Amino acid sequence: MAQRTTVNISEDLLMELRTIARSTKAERRQVERAKIILQWYEGKSFAETRNSLGVTEGAINKWRKRFVEKSMGGLVDAPRSGKPSVFTAVQKANVIKLATKKPPQGYTSWSQRRIAKEAGMSQSKVHQILSQADLKPHKVEYWCGKSTDPEFESKMINIVGLYMNPPENALVLSVDEKTQIQALDRTQPILPLKEKAPKRLTATYKRNGTVGLIAALAVHKGDITATTVDKNNAENFLAFLKGLYRKYPKKDLHIIADNLTVHKHKSVTEWINSKKRITMHFTPTYSSWLNQIEIWFNMLTRDVLKGGVWKSKKQLVDQLMDYVAVYNKERAKPFSWTYTGKPLTV
């Protein structure tokens, strides 16, 4: 039976080894050596590591021994003749350690310049080390965490079911508000787009008020019903629901909304309970991305709000409603979900 041993590795060294092992930019031999040590840490035998990584038992024994003697420094090649390296493996490891920890003095993230100052080396050398380790301390990506809603699965299945297979004679409406849209005017005229120069706006501006937009997407038709409001409250939301109820007199309405307080206000709940043709469906907690109206709001932001200039609140309102009218006339159609990648797991 193959002999199994393990090695104790600190959390910091373990993080460094895993970073190198996952890197697509580090040297292949460094990645291989990191994987040899990680498999040792996981209790893999010589034979298992040999078969997994395609290395000899002599190599496995060599790098295990070197790691025990010199830690991360043992996984680099011994110095050869010629000009010696300016920075040691320990110094390089320190750069990686700094980049993967929260910086002090109130900063949220590291810059290469501050890492260089802390590590006592040039910014270009820091860039080289981080590139080899495939680390980007300046970059942040967002992801959807697991919802804490204990009824997540049942609510999600219910909403997706409405999207994929709605009840007969039913209209599925995805509803939400976009609040605090500012009617911003610039202190100087816009410099229009021209050859070799983008459209330019002054950084200084003045506010001409704010407006909210309540909108409903008819999921299986694609058209938008919308109205502007001065305040986002239960009274305005209920008035919007009543308008939808009158607009579709012969349909059973299934309203998808998030967990905003105004959506669950007593007056809203009482009115809905008094009607037979309308049913509310709430997205799971922290899962408003399930609501398709959010897709349309992103389009609205890109097409209308980004870089917009309005001399008055009325001008903003008019443009919002013009956009809705043109969208319904020329572009309205159901959204098609086209994700074909691997299922996301949590």
Buried b (16+ CB within 10 A) or exposed e, 246-270: eebeebbbbbbbbebebbebeebee
**Quick one: 181 and 128 in the same domain?**
no
Q: What are the φ and ψ backbone dihedral angles of 180, each rounded to 5 degrees?
A: 55, 45
Per-residue model confidence as pLDDT tens digits over 299-324: 999 999 988 889 999 999 999 999 99
User: Residue 282: what are its φ and ψ, rounded to 5°?
Assistant: -100, 135
Say if residue 218's pLDDT is above 80: yes
Query: Do 40 and 174 reside in the same domain of the chain?
Result: no
- Is 81's pLDDT higher than 60? no
- Residues 6+ positions from 195 with CB-CB distance below 8 Å: none
The predicted model gives 129-150 an average pLDDT of 78
Average pLDDT over residues 34-46: 90
Distances (CA, A) of 286 to 144, 148, 187: 9, 8, 39
Does 156 lie in the same domain as 111?
A: no
- Do 178 and 326 belong to one domain? yes
The answer to whether position 306 is within a domain reads yes
Domain count for the chain: 2
For the chain, the average pLDDT equals 87
28-41 vs 11-22: helix crossing angle, rounded to 10: 130
Average pLDDT for 41-63: 90
- Same-domain status, 108 and 163: no
Q: Which domain holds residue 23?
A: 11-78+86-132
Residue 16 falls inside a structural domain: yes
- pTM score: 0.62
Q: Note the pLDDT tens digit of each residue in 246-301.
A: 999 989 999 999 999 999 999 999 999 999 999 999 999 988 889 999 999 999 99
How does residue 94 score in pLDDT terms, banded at 50, 70 and 90?
confident
Same domain, 60 and 116: yes
Q: Give the pLDDT score at 145.
A: 67
Indicate whether 117 and 158 sit together in one domain.
Answer: no
Whether residue 105 sits in one domain with residue 57 = yes
pLDDT at 79 over 80: no
pLDDT at 346: 44
Q: Which is more confidently placed, 265 or 73?
A: 265
